[in-house]
Each structure stands twice: as C-alpha cells, then as structure tokens.
Amino acid sequence: MFSVAAQPFDSHKPEVTAVVLALPEKGMAVLTEHANMSHALLPIANRPMIWYTLQWLEQGGILDIKIVTTRESEADIVGYIEVYKGIASITVKALGDVSGTADALRQVAPLIKSNFVVMPCDLVVDVPATHFFDLVRIKRPAVATMFCEPMKSEGGGGSTKSADTQLCVGIDQPTSRLVLLQEIEEEREDLALSMPLIRRFPSMALSEKMQDTHVYMFQRWVLDFVMAHSEIESLQEDLLPLLVRAQSQPRLLEKHEIAKYIPEASTTASMGVYDSAAQLGLNAGEGGQSKQDSLEVFVYVRRGGIIGRANEVPRYCDLNSVVTRITTGAHTDSSAVLAQQTQVGTESMVGASSQLRERCSVKRSVVGAHCNIGKDVKIINSVVMDHVTIGDGVRLESCVVCKLATIGNSAQLKGCEVAPNVFVPDASNLKNTEITDDSEVFD
C-alpha cells in the first residue's frame, strides 16, 4: 500500500505541479497550537502524516511538489524534507496571512507553470495514485477530484467528535461527471433540483454518503481564473461548486467570466499530465466542443478501503489504528526495550528506543519513539507520540498524548487529548478533556 514510489514515464520532466497544503486545522488545534507543532508532522503509525501524501504523489509520477505552510511551521517541515527519502523535487513555501485555500493558491501561483493538483497534507488513501492520475490523463477534464464513502470510526480519539458537513452529491453515471454538489440543510427533508440540470444529466445518481477528500486536479487556466477573482476564498466551498453548476448553467460561464479563461483548443491542446493520453494512442477528439462541454468536472469515487483525512482528532486516531493494523514488517522497533510480562498487541506499534517496564499492556495503540513508560501501565486504543513519560499504574483509553508530555503515577485518563509538554499530576482522573498548559482542570 505504501511502497517505494515507482519511476514515472519521464522523471526528468515532471508532468504536473503538486501543491500540498500544510496549514493548521481547527479540529487539531489542541495537538498543535500549544507548541507550534506542524499539523503535517503529526505521526500516523510513527511516520509524519505528510509522508503518505508525498509517497502517493510520487507513485503517480508527480515529481514537482510545492509544500505551502505557515512561517511558524516552515523550519520544521524543511528539516523533515532534508531527511525525507524520495525522488521528487520538493520546495517548501511559507505564506503570509491566508484567508482560505484559494488565497494560499494565489500566493504560490508564480511557482505553477503547468496543470496542477492541490491536496492536503493529511490524506491517507489506499487508492493507487496511478488509478486516479491515469484516468485524468485519458479523460482530460478541466477539473478532477476524488470523493469517498467515509470509513467507519473505530471509536478512538479524545474529547471531540467529528462534525462533518453532509453533502448531496450528484454524479452523471455515463461520464463520471460531478454535476451536483450541495450542502444538506438539517431542517429540510426535500432537495430542489433544477430542470436544466435534469435535462442535461438525466442519468444522474444522487448520494448523501460521500465526502470530499480535497484532492483537486486543475488545468492551468483555472489558476488564471482564481487569480482574477479574489472573492473566491475556498477551493471546496467557492470554486468547486461554481464550476460544477456551470456545467449545466451556461449563463454562469459568462456571468463569472469563466468562458474567457477556457482555451479555445482545450480538447486538443497539450495539457501537461494529459500528454500521456496521446502516448497511449488515445484519440482526444477534433475540437468542435463548446466551452460548456470543455468544462468537465470529473470525479473519482472510492467506496470502501482506507481513505480519510486526519483533520479532526477522531479521524486522526482512526487512521493511526487502521494504518498500524495493515503495516507490514515489525511493529515493535528492534531498539525498543520491553520488560518481563509486558504485552504489545498485534494491532499496536512501539517506536525506536522506547522503554516499557514490567507488566505493561499496549492494545490497539501506537507508542512513539524514545518514550519512557512505567510499570503496570495499560494503553488502550490510544496514540502516544515521541518522548512521552508515563508513570507507574497509569491507564490511558482512547487518548492522544502529544510529544514531551508527562503523565503522573496512577493517572486514569479516558477520551482525553494531552497537549505537548504538559504535565498531568499523579492520580488525576479525567474523562473527555482537553488538557493544555492553560487548562483549569488541575486548579
């Protein structure tokens, strides 16, 4: 699943620029804000989450990668890229104030000369990247994206619960076009569909079980359009819905000046990553398409399997659990020291140089590197990051403990998030609590 990247068709000429968004996520604030820890470097199965994104892009032959992040995280991410072993050319770009993902894209626009893919740093997916990118090469849409049915939660993960925005997604079955993208209002049971939409896409299938993975592949002209329209703040909330609607509403092409950015010969022109379609002997067509026809939003749908973003604590814990379970090779590092009568379950992982003393039990959990864990400790369905100290007799269940935290003797924590560098006093008994330096739980 997460093997070494395959060599692409031509490693000397990257086909597409990838923009990886390594920006803070509100749903992960307790794990990152209190120590200026980069969201992109939070561990999943003892690897920085951005590792999975970089590997996926490389497997798809995308070798020109721009990581955009904040000034606070720039040094840490640069430090990681210096030791990352990959085949891509990777640049880290620190942004100024960012009002949204479209604004982040505008700030990095001078670095983008070709078609481009935008994706988050926290996506873990078992879809081979070639499946997605090769379909894009063949179909040559203006926009390509990936939607999925969410994984079933395994019940781990701190004090917060996922609050997903429920979407109604319409997909034209013959063409795999994304033709409807509408947020579902809780107080309404009905859904209004326009007649132009129904007439243009009579074979549309509707679903309320799909989520946006925030993987967006764009033709280069879309960046020019975004640059000229500063009112577009979010790729997900503003740009994508507009382009989806414009497929069935021609007046939007003129009203929002989309038409003037669509190349006249977009169906036959060389389109970067799409060049491979010609290499494969596929006929791209001979023009004659209207600009509305050229505006195709293709959607790749993933049902089942492993796919999700670690942008909220529960999802972060679920991904740690599932990736740990399927990871091949030794789950306990050879340098870790396990004392007598210590048990580490087959669905758990222990990192380098960690020490677990007598009668410890680790079940469905990840323990990071250089941790010092006392006697009679029970860790269940939890994530313990690097350099954590845990006293004797501690019980952790469905918790996340960040790097350099210390848990005092006999503490009992369930459903808690412990921020970096925090000390939890002896004999603390807490449930469903965010524990930070400024928490009032110990006052």
Are 220 and 364 contained in the same domain? Answer: no
Residue 5 lies in a domain: no
So what's the pLDDT on residue 161? 64
Are 307 and 337 contained in the same domain? Answer: no
Give 364's DSSP letter.
S
Query: 178 - beta bridge partners?
Result: 171
Residue 442 lies in a domain: no
Residue 66 lies in a domain: yes
219: Cβ–Cβ under 8 A, 6 or more apart, which residues? 115, 141, 142, 143, 266, 271
Full DSSP string of 407-423? E-TT-EEES-EE-TT-E
Residue 2 lies in a domain: no
Are 145 and 260 contained in the same domain? Answer: yes
Are 154 and 279 contained in the same domain? Answer: yes
Residue 99 CB-density burial (10 A; 0-12 exposed, 13-18 middle, 19+ buried):
exposed
Are 65 and 129 contained in the same domain? Answer: yes
For residues 325 and 124, give the distance between their C-alpha atoms in angstroms, rounded to a whole number: 14
Residue 4 lies in a domain: no
Structure tokens at 213: 């993975």
So what's the pLDDT on residue 99? 87
Are 317 and 339 contained in the same domain? Answer: no
So what's the pLDDT on residue 125? 94
Are 260 and 351 contained in the same domain? Answer: no
Are 344 and 386 contained in the same domain? Answer: yes
Q: Which residues does the chain have with pLDDT short of 70?
A: 1-14, 155-164, 186-189, 265-290, 292, 439-443
| Residue that finishes a domain, picked among 294, 321, 348 | 321
Residue 84 lies in a domain: yes
Residue 218 lies in a domain: yes
Angle, to 10 degrees, between the axis of helix 49-59 and the axis of helix 129-139? 50
Residue 416 belongs to domain with CATH number: 2.160.10.10
Are 385 and 261 contained in the same domain? Answer: no
Are 291 and 428 contained in the same domain? Answer: no
**Residue 94 near residue 74, CB atoms below 8 Å:** yes
Are 308 and 377 contained in the same domain? Answer: no
Q: What is the pTM of this model?
A: 0.89
Residue 388 domain boundaries = 331-435
Q: What sign has the CA pseudo-torsion 191, 192, 197, 202?
A: positive
**Residue 401 near residue 420, CB atoms below 8 Å:** no
| Residue that finishes a domain, picked among 321, 348, 374 | 321
Residue 326 lies in a domain: no
Are 168 and 115 contained in the same domain? Answer: yes
So what's the pLDDT on residue 191? 77
Domain count for the chain: 2
Residue 290 belongs to domain with CATH number: 3.90.550.10
So what's the pLDDT on residue 268? 37
| Residue that finishes a domain, picked among 271, 287, 321 | 321
So what's the pLDDT on residue 82? 96
So what's the pLDDT on residue 442? 62
Q: Give the side-chain half-sphere CA count within 13 A for 232.
A: 23
